[in-house]
Structure 1
């Protein structure tokens, strides 16, 4: 008997599924961008490749996190803008406001610890090692709302990693 050859997935269902799950991240961020902010006790740990294609991170932040970083969106974030293929947000690093722009394709983890909801994604395609000048539109401005300078922290998610 002839061996059956496995079917070829010309629809690329795995990629379609990953895209749909990234849409979940986008929809959660859309809710966070509403005037009322993130509902209830929800908060997001978003890990992304700092050199992912289309990522814009200030040079000093990129120097500190040359591979990936995790940001927390909970109480202190400003100017969250959610687009079809990316989001941008202002966070404070060492008391200084910085704007990050992250395409969903650069996100590797999305975690909401309040409900133990976790999405993990394949590693994205990376940009060349050179750091481009930050566009004027992405330069930080002062946060609109007041608040404590102890803004969101970049945290290690090693405790959440599967071993």
Structure 2
């Protein structure tokens, strides 16, 4: 029998799915109005596929913008692919959803930030409630001092406007 409902993990999955759904809609219908996406991702994450010169230029993190020119946007269950223009040369990029750090649509002031370390559902299920929160399962755990890894949260758009 389940020990409880892991709302953090459910929210994490929902936020990744929201991002995937938005990208899939744009892949089918194009970008409506002034919508555009700024997507930052970990270039070292397994499954990220991009040209060697881009990997050299962005060895740890890269931000791409889907706005005026992009092609071949395709969304799969665990990743998306898109072709972008780098110095008038079209380059395909493959980004697993797990590699995404931020997903922002500045036109409507919407953004998500994903933590660097996320909970592996298989790993989380393997531990007992005592392993996870130090309690015996009969009392509610103390609230954490900071949001645990694996959460998704709204990002301040000031980061992308050059204001801090």
State the distance in 2 between where 1:113 and 1:100 align.
22
Choose which of 8, 11, 23 in structure 2 pairs with 1:29: 23
Find out whether 1:73 has 2:63 as its counterpart: no
Aligned to 1:17: 11
Structure-1-length-normalised TM-score = 0.69
Separation (CA, whole Å) in 1 of partners of 2:73 and 2:16: 17
Q: Does 1:110 align with 2:103?
A: yes
* Structure with the bigger percentage of helix: 2
CA RMSD in angstroms comes to 2.3
- Residue 14 of structure 1 and its aligned partner are, at CA, apart by 1.6
**Moved beyond 2 Å, runs of 4+:** 9-13, 157-163
- For structure 2, the residue ranges without an aligned partner over 5 or more in a row are 119-157
Alignment correspondent of 2:53:
60
Q: Relative to structure 1, is the Cα distance of residues 161 and 47 closer, same or farther in structure 2, using a 3 angstrom cutoff?
A: farther
- For residue 12 of structure 1, report the CA deviation from its aligned partner: 3.4
Q: How many angstroms apart in 1 are the aligned matches of 2:160 and 2:32?
A: 25
| Alignment partner, residue 138 of structure 2 | none
Specify every segment of 5 or more residues in structure 1 that has no aligned partner in the other structure, as ranges. Answer: 1-8, 126-156
Between the aligned partners of 1:161 and 1:104, the Cα distance in structure 2 is 26
* TM-score with structure 2 setting the length: 0.68
For residues 85 and 162 of structure 1, what CA distance do their matches in structure 2 show?
Answer: 33
Q: Given the alignment, which residue of 25, 32, 42 partners 1:39?
A: 32
SS at match of 1:100: strand
Residues of 1 paired with 2:45 and 2:117: CA distance? 6
